[in-house]
Amino acid sequence: MPIGRPGECTSLHRDGRQPDFRHGLRRRRVIHPRRRCSMPRRSHMCHQAWRGPLNPHAPRRIFRPVLSTKDPTMTLLRTALALATLAFVLPATAADATRIPHLDGDIVIDGVLDDAAWSQAVPVELGYEISPGDNTPSPVHTTMRMASTRDALYLSFHALDPEPSKIRAHLTDRDGPYRDDFVGVMLDTFDDHRRNYEFFVNPLGVQMDLIREEATSNEDDSWDGLWTSAGRITADGYDVEMRIPFSTLRFRNTQGAKQWGVIGLRSYPRNVRHQLANVVIPRGGNCLLCHAAKIEGMEGVQQGRNLEVVPTLTVTDAESRDRRDGDWHGEGVQVEPGVDVSWAPSPNLTLNATINPDFSQVETDQAQLDLTSNFALYFPEKRPFFMEGADYFNTPFQVLYTRQIANPDYGLRITGRTGSGAYGAFVARDATTQLLVPGVLGSGFDVLEQPADVLVARYRHDLNASTSIGLVTTARHGDDYRNDVAGVDGRWQHGGHTVVAQLLRSDSQYPTSLGFADNAPSGAAWRAQYDYETRNWFASSWHEKVDPGFRADLGFIGQVGYDKSLVGGGYNWFFDKGSKINRVQLYSDFDITHRFDGQLLERELEARLSLNGPLQSNFGVQGLTRSRFWDGRLFEESYINLFASAIPRSGVQLGGNFRTGPQIDIAASRRGHGRFFDVNGSVALGRGLSVNVDLFQQSLRRDGGTAFEATVLDTRLAWQMDPRQRLRMTVQASNVDKDPALYTHPVNRHARDIGAQLVYSYKVNPRTAVYAGGTLGGFLDDEHRDLFASSRGVFFKLSYGWQP
């Protein structure tokens, strides 16, 4: 939903193109805009960080080689490959597997555990509290039962509760109730500790499903499987039933019995959020799936035809104007039919095709604004074709950012697994060529108004249980334009040690009309990282170098021409059950960045102290000091940041940050005193009504005045009428004030943007759905002093999932 002035908005255009906006992503990796923890992955800085979807505060987050044999990067490549090949691992001891019984008939999924067939299912007790307790006995009793038929896996959960009136359960959209009570299962269907499915259900039957990648601990809730669930609150707790068709899963197509890894989970949130499991999960481990229990059986299962056809129809009518008395103009009513086809000829292979795909997005992007950085704005992908299977293409560098494929005419994709690895590839024809133009000190978006052909391919080969190597290539070609990237990466893990490395090479050609200083850049990028983690200690060290000529036009690499090193670590203190504070963590790191010619760009030292306490709270303090190069000289910056979040009661979540300290006004190349605060919260009003509010403000004072003050409000109201119907309203507004007397170039003294979106949805399942809604946006600035409506639109979207 664009809001405000054309070309200057806080969300993505409907066709997927990015507005030319500036936002700071100073951290070392792309951070999901809603993820407030930007510390290294294993540092446990995020609240209850790595233990899957049990973290309610975290969102669920994706050629032509030109390599000279004399290139020094090739020496690094050969060395990395040799080390990976010679990596030593200890043999794993296979755990005894639990036999999954076969049922002759189906079970009715209604949340009532009265089917006689459940007596044949194997019971599994969730007897361990893995957090905050350290594998202590569970405070409540939970029994999971498992069985299978020829076409589906059945699970039930009988979750007892000493105080059923305190069960937290709300009627929300799919993938919404992570702060509720819920139960579910993690399935490692290849039993290789690489990737797993996650299926969770709250006491009202609302579904949550994800795909988790073990190497990064990233979870992707954009994947929506077709499965059935039901839940019911009872006098002594709640019951849940699940039916997961084998056609929804991918697994080894072997004869006879199959062996999978399984972790049963229950989230039991009260004053603290108890996490319960059927297995012991040691603290400080870097392989969650290594501790999964084993199940076997499921001989002769059938996946059916595994063919799905989803025709879509999207109707839009959008208009805009640039002044209050101006005429509305647009392209009129646009009718866009399309079709998506998915076929899985085997349990470990999936083919997808799309013609005239519907790549519009219904949900509005999160509003963002940062006036203290010069790097391009990052938005997460929300379009279904690209979200599904996105983890197949993940590498240490983000060489694929699918929102760079802005307006495709068609797409073809293949993803699959082999006995010793995984692969994925897709091709597309994009009607628009969107570019992320990187630099040493900043980046921005540009557009070539011409089509381009896109190719992306990724392969990972597992040398053994702990070592893997991978290849990746991306290519985009158009008229007088091409960008080719190729690379190799590797990962080794043993005990608490993890080593990850990647080497890339790019070759590009750009039209002279873009006015680039170098129309044919080429270069390399490489990164090596070592992590160490025990129960209490953790540490990380990495180095990366990106040549000035390196380009990854299909990725999100906004900075080039630098090399950077970081070393950091910390310590966790865990406290016994019953303590008001159950964990304290201290973390610190030092990093230094140089330009390709040796110029110091940044030297930074930071530290953070965080505590987990009552009311599921996380709070603490962070400090940073750094030297930062900008506009030909070094500036000294520092800040102190206070943060806190808590869930004081069922359906209520509150959080906030406050940061203050000296910083640069990059628009004026002057140093001032900056201040930033962010307050956010969500409230459930009854079972189905919820309100989410996020308000943040950024300001900088210098030279006797306030150089700028920017405020952004993002408010979302949702009414889940029943499990299928939802009404959602989003209102976003921004206000930016600047003092022209403090700038040497013209600036707007006052600017305001506001936008609203109303959407009604009816979902039979993730494939069959109807959406209808409208948007309205307006702005004012020094030239247009009165707020006026500048954009408006209505839309209708219909999709139908057909499985012949």
207-255 pLDDT tens trace: 999 999 887 788 888 888 899 999 999 999 999 999 999 989 988 877 7
pLDDT band at 87 (very low <50, low <70, confident <90, very high): very low
Top pLDDT among 215 and 268 is at 268
Burial class (CB in 10 A: 0-12, 13-18, 19+), 803: middle
609-633 tens-digit pLDDT? 999 999 999 999 999 999 999 999 9
Residue 376 has pLDDT above 70, yes or no: no
Query: Are 45 and 608 contacting, i.e. CB atoms less than 8 angstroms apart?
Result: yes
- 270 forms bridges with which residues in the sheet? none
Give residue-wise pLDDT tens across range 712-738: 999 999 999 998 999 999 999 999 999
d(CA 330, CA 321): 9
Task: Give percent above pLDDT 70 in the chain.
Answer: 85
Please provide the average confidence, as pLDDT, over all residues in the chain: 85
Give 506-528 pLDDT, tens digit per residue.
Answer: 999 999 999 999 999 999 999 99
Task: Give Cα separations from 555 to 160, 596, 798 (angstroms).
Answer: 48, 21, 31
DSSP assignment letter at 512: G
Report in angstroms the alpha-carbon separations of 409 from 18, 356, 646, 647, 755. 18, 5, 45, 45, 29
Average the pLDDT over each of 29-43, 71-85, 123-137 and give the range with the smallest value: 29-43
Domain residues of the chain, as ranges? Answer: 97-297
**pLDDT the model gives residue 117:** 93
Answer yes or no: is pLDDT of 12 > 60.
no
pLDDT for 771 equals 94
Confidence check: pLDDT of 25 > 90: no
Q: What is the mean pLDDT of residues 743-750?
A: 93
What is the model's pLDDT at position 18? 30
User: Residue 382: what pLDDT?
Assistant: 67
CATH classification (class only), 97-297: mainly beta
Q: Which amino acid is at 654?
A: L
- Which pLDDT value is given to residue 19? 27
**Does position 472 have pLDDT exceeding 80, yes or no?**
yes
Strand blocks (E) in 520-651: 522-533, 537-546, 562-574, 583-595, 600-613, 617-630, 633-649
- Enter the pTM of the model: 0.81
Token pair of 263 as six digits: 């972790």
